[in-house]
Structure 1
Amino acid sequence: MNIGLVRHFKVNCYTKMFMTSDDFKQWVKQYDNSDIIENKFEIGNIIWHKCFSSDLSRATKTSKSIFTGEIIKTQLLREVPIAPIFNTNIKLPYVFWCISGRIAWFFQHKSQIENKKDTQRRVNEFLDSIKNESNNNILIVCHGLFMNTLQKGLKSRGVSGQNIKRHKNGTLYLYKK
């Protein structure tokens, strides 16, 4: 069984350098609904039987661009939601909001919609749902932080492959069971 992990194509979304907490919330919504910027994609020399995709538009559009068969969309593959760690009208750097939100997720801070344990539960639920696919080569199209957690989940189940810290958009990463 081959498993191909693909992070969605880049998102065409403008980012202001400084934002209030409300600005950041609005930017997250805008990002989730923005179009993608396709890049040249190498599918590899593997016949892919199935494609599982996050149901967020950037992932489904990427899936449709790289896979011609049926695409199985699921909320289980969605990106880890991000929220401001506090409310303020002071404009802070965009990078601050992103980094602090991810640190808050890691430490299970109440400001985040989902914490690290919740994400790990989603990964395990998804991996349990595909355990009967051992005769198929499957593509999985999802998102950056989620892919890191998914990659760890695959390895804990005996799947071998690259250990990537920062997945590039629109790139295939191959794993084998």
Structure 2
Amino acid sequence: MNIGLVRHFKVDCDVNTFMTSNDFEEWVKKYDNSDVIENKFEMLQNINWNKCFSSDLLRAIKTAKTIFKGEIIESRLLREVPMSSIFKTNLKLPYVFWCITSRLAWILKHKSQAESKVDTERRVNAFLNSVDKYSNDNILIVCHGFYMHTFQKELKRRGFYGKSVKRPRNGTLYLYKD
């Protein structure tokens, strides 16, 4: 079995350098519903992809429809790890602050986050367990950058090998083989 992981195309969504906690929450909603900017995509020619799974978020679906011609199976299990501000304030703080603190809060199981690292690991495992029945197929998966870190770790734990990517590029295919 080959698994191809693809991070969705770049999202067409502007961001302010400084924002309040409410601004950040609104920006996350806007980002989740924004269109994508397509880039040149190189499919590995020597692999016939039998199945394509995609996160059910718009940016992943649009990417999947561009790169795969066939049925695309959407799954909530492939969604990006949700981000929320860790506290409420009208003070405008850097956008990067909100992103970093929400990811740290995710690791630390902070109550401000809808999902913890353990929850994300469970989601990844639930998805991979659900595709075990396709062990003779080559599966293309379109998902999200931060989510891909947990996904890659689980693939390696299950005996797959492929390049470990710390910063997955938008619209790029990463191959994992068992």
TM-score range, shorter chain: over 0.9
RMSD: 0.5
Q: Show structure 1 runs of 4+ deviating over 6 A.
A: none
The separation in 1 between residues aligned to 2:71 and 2:52, in whole angstroms, is 7
Query: Which residue identity is paired with 2:48?
Result: I
User: Mapping of 1:10-159 within 5 angstroms?
Assistant: 10-45=10-45, 46-159=47-160
User: Partner of 2:177 in structure 1?
Assistant: 176
The separation in 2 between residues aligned to 1:27 and 1:164, in whole angstroms, is 26
1:174 counterpart SS class: strand
Residues 55-81 of structure 1, C-alpha deviations (whole Å, 9 max, x = no match): 000000000000001000000000000
1:134 shift after superposition = 1.1
TM-score normalised to the size of structure 2? 0.98
Aligned residues between the structures? 177
The separation in 2 between residues aligned to 1:101 and 1:40, in whole angstroms, is 31
The separation in 2 between residues aligned to 1:160 and 1:130, in whole angstroms, is 17
The separation in 2 between residues aligned to 1:19 and 1:130, in whole angstroms, is 40
The separation in 2 between residues aligned to 1:176 and 1:17, in whole angstroms, is 40
TM-score normalised to the size of structure 1? 0.99
Residues 77-105 of structure 1, C-alpha deviations (whole Å, 9 max, x = no match): 00000000000000000000000000110
Unaligned runs of 5+ in 1: none
User: Partner of 2:161 in structure 1?
Assistant: 160
Residues 13-42 of structure 1, C-alpha deviations (whole Å, 9 max, x = no match): 010011000000000000000000000000
Query: Which residue identity is paired with 1:135?
Result: N
Query: Which residue identity is paired with 1:21?
Result: S
1:132 counterpart SS class: helix
The separation in 1 between residues aligned to 2:171 and 2:107, in whole angstroms, is 25
The separation in 2 between residues aligned to 1:23 and 1:134, in whole angstroms, is 44
